[in-house]
Amino acid sequence: MDQATLIAKLTGAVGADYIHTDPVALRAYNCDALTIYKGQPSAVVLPADTEQVQQVVRLCREAGVPLIPRGAGTCLSGGATPAPGGVLAVFVRMNQILEIDYENHLARVQPGVVNLHLSRETLPRGFHYAPDPSSQMACTIGGNAAENSGGAHCLKYGMTTNHIQGMTVVLASGDAVRLGSDGDEAPGLDLRGFFIGSEGTFAVTTELTVRLTPNPEGVRTMLACFKEVGDACRTVSEVIAAGAVPAAMELMDRYTIEAVEKVMQAGYPKDAGAVLLIELDGLPSSMRPLEALIHGICMRNACASFRAAQSEAERDSLWMGRKRAFGAFGAIAPAYYCLDGTVPRSKLAVVLEEFDRIAARYGLRITNVFHAGDGSLHPNVLFDDRVPGETARAVECGAEVLRACIRAGGVLSGEHGIGIEKKREMRDQFDAATLGIMERVRDAVDPEGIFNPGKILPGGDVEFPLAGASQPGGVARMAAAFSK
């Protein structure tokens, strides 16, 4: 099937108003939030339902053209960056909350539902959707499932996989199948868990049944400020070791504080080496002794100041600084490269010191803002993409950061996924035999490799050039795909 025929058939499947092929329009989709790597799609389609997705999958399979699912494009590892010449399926039209079952604490949604919109819909009835990535104002639940996204409150409530009961997916054959169930138990193999976190390389998700969490009776948000980041890290370990499990524990270093206060004045002390945002939730009577415990641990670790939010507005301000920290980095650097690695809580201080040494070797600066309670780090390499060679240097610096996480007994990703960003370092995390098992599993589910190629596993013939670089072979690969 040639390109013109494929485009004509895709247009017939989704409608002329819901397909983009103009090169200018396609540029808006050539990357996700990881803007370091680019890939130009040949077409962008906006399906409306499962049946249209099935048609699109079958057409791409017949043409031998890659199909890449995309939600809001907030992925930070390149998971939604299109393979050059591929077809991008964007789910902005599939954004309906189909059903809310308050009695059984469930909601059935399409993949394009924005994370925060579900909680806004259910809050008046006493429920919310617990997984809360920093991008929850924009990211979609389908994308969260693809990456097994985390969030600040996942320390207490668990990752996305802990909140998805069932899902409908379209396989490479074009068949739609139901995984999991709407109940607490599902017979047979846990295929639902198998597909969550597969980053769109197994299938396309078209519907999800998710758990709703009852709203807590009370919430207490505290800000502890430290002169040294090591004191804040030690506090995190000691709080958890003491048996307290806050809903959230978020740490921001001095560079992050500088950026946030320049942009939005969240109320963080500008002279602090680190701030620790700690939130408790539950029964007010149970939170009081925990707050006293946490306060005591903070003070034993040279806490310079400690305060609890006295109003909802103050709490919102403290959290807004954390939620918008990544966007604030533009105030202190022309560009940044956001990474994602997880280490044992006891190694936080040691690993952050290693990050400083790595940054010095590369002549760059690394900021840190992260989910401290579960050791899920987000080091950000600040650089100037206008300086020739500096983007490549930032990528190499990032690779060293990830290897430092592995050496500390951690893993490559806590929530952002592997995507393009970390697939090279998968060889540092896993041996050849383990990677071989992963390849065989992927190939068994998608034998022709049409779903989101070039992601997660090292090797392969799909290349994603650095932003601003030429794209050698991209046109040739596209032409070869369409000639099949």
Is position 436 within any domain? no
Q: Are residues 75 and 177 in the same domain?
A: no
Is position 432 within any domain? no
Q: Are residues 185 and 231 in the same domain?
A: no
Is residue 432 left, alpha or beta, with left meaning phi > 0 and alpha meaning psi from -120 to 50?
alpha
Q: Are residues 291 and 348 in the same domain?
A: no
Q: Are residues 255 and 323 in the same domain?
A: yes
Q: Single out the residue of 191, 164, 189, 165 nearest to residue 177, CA to CA.
A: 191
pLDDT of residue 479: 27
Q: Are residues 299 and 342 in the same domain?
A: no
Number of residues that make up the chain: 484
* Paired strand residues for 189: none
Q: Are residues 250 and 304 in the same domain?
A: yes
Q: Are residues 102 and 210 in the same domain?
A: yes
Q: Which long-range contacts (CB under 8 A, 24 or more apart) does 280-287 make?
A: 280/219, 280/220, 280/221, 280/222, 280/246, 280/247, 281/156, 281/216, 281/218, 281/219, 281/220, 281/247, 282/216, 282/217, 282/218, 283/217, 283/218, 284/217, 284/218, 287/218, 287/220
Q: Single out the residue of 308, 314, 248 nearest to residue 282, CA to CA.
A: 248
pLDDT of residue 327: 87
Is position 306 within any domain? yes
At 217, is the secondary structure helix, strand, or coil? coil
CATH number of the domain bearing residue 304? 3.30.70.3450
CATH number of the domain bearing residue 61? 3.30.43.10
pTM check: above 0.75: yes
Radius of gyration over every alpha carbon of the chain, rounded to an integer in angstroms: 23
Whether the Cβ atoms of residue 71 and residue 27 lie closer than 8 Å to each other: no
Whether the Cβ atoms of residue 168 and residue 177 lie closer than 8 Å to each other: yes
**Helix (H), strand (E) at residue 170:** strand 164-170
Range(s) of the domain holding residue 396: 333-420
At 146, is the secondary structure helix, strand, or coil? helix
Is position 292 within any domain? yes
What CA–CA distance (Å, rounded) separates 326 from 322?
8
Q: Which two tokens stand for residue 121?
A: 């819909």
Strands 87-90 and 43-45: parallel
Q: Are residues 196 and 259 in the same domain?
A: no
Final residue belonging to a domain, choices 327, 359, 394: 327
**Segments of the chain with pLDDT less than 70:** 468-484
Q: Are residues 37 and 118 in the same domain?
A: no
Is position 434 within any domain? no
The burial of 317, by beta-carbon neighbours within 10 Å (0-12 exposed, 13-18 middle, 19 or more buried), is given as middle
CATH number of the domain bearing residue 403? 3.30.70.2740
Final residue belonging to a domain, choices 369, 390, 420: 420
Whether the Cβ atoms of residue 369 and residue 321 lie closer than 8 Å to each other: no
pLDDT of residue 484: 31
Final residue belonging to a domain, choices 159, 190, 214: 214
Q: Which two tokens stand for residue 236?
A: 């995190």
Is position 426 within any domain? no
What CA–CA distance (Å, rounded) separates 398 from 391?
11
What CA–CA distance (Å, rounded) separates 178 from 197?
17
Question: How does pLDDT run across 203-212, given as a tens digit for each residue?
Answer: 999 999 999 9
Is residue 23 left, alpha or beta, with left meaning phi > 0 and alpha meaning psi from -120 to 50?
alpha
pLDDT of residue 468: 56
CATH number of the domain bearing residue 154? 3.30.465.10
Is position 389 within any domain? yes
Q: Are residues 347 and 391 in the same domain?
A: yes
Q: Looking at the 3D structure of the chain, how many domains does it have? A: 4
Q: Are residues 136 and 171 in the same domain?
A: yes
What CA–CA distance (Å, rounded) separates 54 from 12?
13
Is position 281 within any domain? yes
Half-sphere exposure of residue 157, counting CA atoms within 13 Å on the CB side? 27
Q: Are residues 303 and 341 in the same domain?
A: no
